[in-house]
Structure 1
Amino acid sequence: MKTTQYAFEIVQELTQSLQLISENEAEKLMESITESNKIFVAGAGRSGFIGKSFVMRMMHMGIDAYAVGETVTANLKEDDLLIIGSGSGETKTLVSIAEKAKKLRGTVAVVTTAPESTIGKLADIVVQLPGATKDRTESNYKTIQPMGSLFEQTMMLFYDALILQFMNKKGLDSQTMYGKHANLE
C-alpha cells in the first residue's frame, strides 16, 4: 500500500471514531471548562503531547490553563478542573495525579477508551473515545495503526473540536486568539 493510501485509511478510521463520541459527555466537559477557574491537563507519552497542544489553544483563548508537570504550572484548588488523557486509564503516574486532585477537591475529567478504569472510576466526568490502547488489551476496536495512535489522533481532533465550540460560544476568532500567540520566537 502507498503512503497516501495509508493516510486515507487513517482518515476513514478517524471519521468512524469521531461518530462514536457521546455528545452528552462532550457537553459535560465543555460546561466544566467554561465554569472552572483554572484548567489542568495531564497525559503521558503522546497523549501528554496532545494535552499540551490543548493547553496552548486554551491559553490563546484567554483560559487560565496549565500542563501538569511543567515548572510554571499553578496549584490546583477547589473550583479547578483536571483533564486527564489516558487510553488505558491505568497509567500509574496519572492515577496518582487524579487521586491528588480529588483530595484537593478539584473536578477530575478523563478522556479515555476505558471508562471502567481506575481513573474512569475516580473521574467526575468521563468522555469515552473509541480506539485501541497501546498494548491492545481489552479492545476489540480494529485499526491498522500501531499501538494507541487511533486514540491519540481522535483525542487531538476532539480537543480541537472543543476549542472551536468554545470559540463559538465566546465569539472568538483566529485573529483575536493570535494576539495571545508567543511573540519572542
Structure 2
Amino acid sequence: MALHISEPNSRVPADSAPTSRPAEPGSSLAAIRRTLDIEADGIKALHAALDGPLGPAMEAALDALFGARGRVIVTGMGKSGHIGRKLAATFASTGTPALFLHAAEAAHGDLGMVTADDVLVALSWSGETAELGEIVRYARRFSVPLIAVTSRPESTLGKAADILLALPKVTEACPNGLAPTTSTLVQLALGDALAVALLERRGFSASDFHVFHPGGKLGARLLKVRDLMHEREMTPLTQLGTPMADVLIEITSKRFGCCGVLDGSGRLVGIVTDGDLRRHMSGDLLARPVETIMTSSPLAIAPGEFASSALRILNRRQVTVLFVVEDNVPVGIVHVHDLLGAGVA
C-alpha cells in the first residue's frame, strides 16, 4: 500500500508571482466577517455529520481511545500536523496519555515510540499524505488500531483505517480555496470533542486537572486552601473566658490582625478583629472576657476547597483572612495576600 500526493506542489517563478493590491476601504472587515461566517458553517456541517456515519464512528473511536492499554499516538503533516500536536497535548492534559509523532521522522527511527498497546490517530484532510505511508504500514503490520481523520473516505488512509472519522466537505475561508482554514478548524473541533468526551468518560475532575497543570495562571486557580494556608501553630487563637489583655497579646504576636475564639471542645465560635476593638473601646476593655467583644460565627473554609473559592469569599465579604477548619476545628488561617501572591484570581 502506498500513499501518494494527489497533486504535486509547483513553484511559481519569482518574476511571475502575483503582487498584492491594497484593500479597498472597508473590505478588510468584510473579509473578516466572511471568514468567520464560512468557518462557522464548517462547524455546523461537522455537527450535522454526527447524525450520519460520523456519529457511530465517534463512539467507536472513543471506545478505542478509552480502552487503550498504552498511549494515544497522534500524527499528521503540515497544518494537520499542527492540529495533531494540539490534540495530543489536550489528550495528555486531560487524563489520556498521548504524544505527537512527526510523520516524516517516523520512518527514521521514531516508529519505535509506537507499541501494540497504543492507538494511532492519523490526520490528513486529503487522506493521501505521502509521509503517512510508513506509519500506516507499521500500524497494519503490528496490529496497532488506526483511527483516520480525513475528508475522503475513499482515500488510501481512509481505506486503511480500523475506524474512519469522515469529515464533511467544507469551503476554505481562503478566497483562493488553498490555505487550510475551515478544514483545520473542523479538525481542531473534532479533536476537542473527542478529548472532552474522554474527559467526561474518565470522570476527570478539576483536582485531577491540577496534577497536570501545576504552573501558570491555571495552576494557581487550581490550588487548594491547604496549599497556601498558615498552619495551626501560626494561627491566632484563644479560649472563651480569656481576658482581652491576653487576646491583644495573641493578636499582636501572630500578626493577622484578628484572633479566633474556641469553646471548650476546641471549636471555632467567634473572632475578634480591629473593628470589634473599636466598637467596644472603653476603660475596662482589657479586663473584659473575650466573648463580650467577639463576633460570633466567623467566616471559615475547609482546607480542601479551592483557593479561588477563598478569594471569592474574602472579596464578597470585604475581609482579609479566613480561618481554615475541619469539623469547625481550626487547622490554619489564610490571608488574602497569600492568595494574591500565589497568583490566585
1: CA distance, partners of 2:133 / 2:160: 9
Moved over 6 A (4+): 70-74
Counterpart residue number, 1:171 = 203
Counterpart residue number, 2:186 = 154
Between 1:8-17 and 1:82-91, the stretch displaced more is 8-17
1: CA distance, partners of 2:89 / 2:210: 12
User: Normalised by the size of structure 2, how large is the TM-score?
Assistant: 0.47
RMSD value, Cα = 2.5
Counterpart residue number, 1:98 = 136
Matched, 1:109 2:147: yes
Q: Equivalent residues in 2 for 1:125-164 (5 A)?
A: 125-131=163-169, 141-145=170-174, 146-147=177-178, 148-164=180-196
Counterpart residue number, 1:28 = 60
Counterpart residue number, 2:80 = 47
2: CA distance, partners of 1:182 / 1:84: 30
Select the structure of larger CA radius of gyration. Answer: 2
Kindly tell me the number of residue pairs found equivalent between the two proteins: 176
1: CA distance, partners of 2:171 / 2:72: 33
1: CA distance, partners of 2:135 / 2:110: 17
2: CA distance, partners of 1:65 / 1:75: 11
Q: Provide Cα deviations, 1:49-68, integer angstroms capped at 9, x if missing partner.
A: 11111111111123221111
Counterpart residue number, 1:4 = 33
Please say if residues 95 and 199 of structure 2, whose CA atoms lie closer than 8 Å, have aligned partners that are also in contact: no
Please say if residues 130 and 151 of structure 1, whose CA atoms lie closer than 8 Å, have aligned partners that are also in contact: no
Please say if residues 66 and 73 of structure 1, whose CA atoms lie closer than 8 Å, have aligned partners that are also in contact: no
Which runs of 5 or more structure 1 residues have no equivalent in the other structure? 132-140
Change (3 A) 1:61 1:116: same
| CA displacement at 1:142 relative to structure 2 | 4.1
Counterpart residue number, 1:59 = 92
| CA displacement at 1:182 relative to structure 2 | 6.9
Counterpart residue number, 2:118 = 80
Please say if residues 42 and 51 of structure 1, whose CA atoms lie closer than 8 Å, have aligned partners that are also in contact: yes
Counterpart residue number, 2:45 = 16
2:93 partner amino acid: H
Aligned-partner SS, 1:114: coil
1: CA distance, partners of 2:148 / 2:38: 27
| CA displacement at 1:150 relative to structure 2 | 2.1
Which runs of 5 or more structure 2 residues have no equivalent in the other structure? 1-29, 217-345
Please say if residues 153 and 159 of structure 2, whose CA atoms lie closer than 8 Å, have aligned partners that are also in contact: yes
Q: Provide Cα deviations, 1:112-143, integer angstroms capped at 9, x if missing partner.
A: 01111111111111110013xxxxxxxxx544
Please say if residues 60 and 178 of structure 1, whose CA atoms lie closer than 8 Å, have aligned partners that are also in contact: no
Change (3 A) 1:159 1:174: farther
Please say if residues 148 and 157 of structure 2, whose CA atoms lie closer than 8 Å, have aligned partners that are also in contact: yes
Change (3 A) 1:80 1:29: same
Identity of aligned residues (%): 23
2: CA distance, partners of 1:161 / 1:181: 20
1: CA distance, partners of 2:207 / 2:184: 28
Please say if residues 124 and 149 of structure 2, whose CA atoms lie closer than 8 Å, have aligned partners that are also in contact: yes
1:129 partner amino acid: L
Between 1:18-27 and 1:175-184, the stretch displaced more is 175-184
Change (3 A) 1:53 1:175: farther
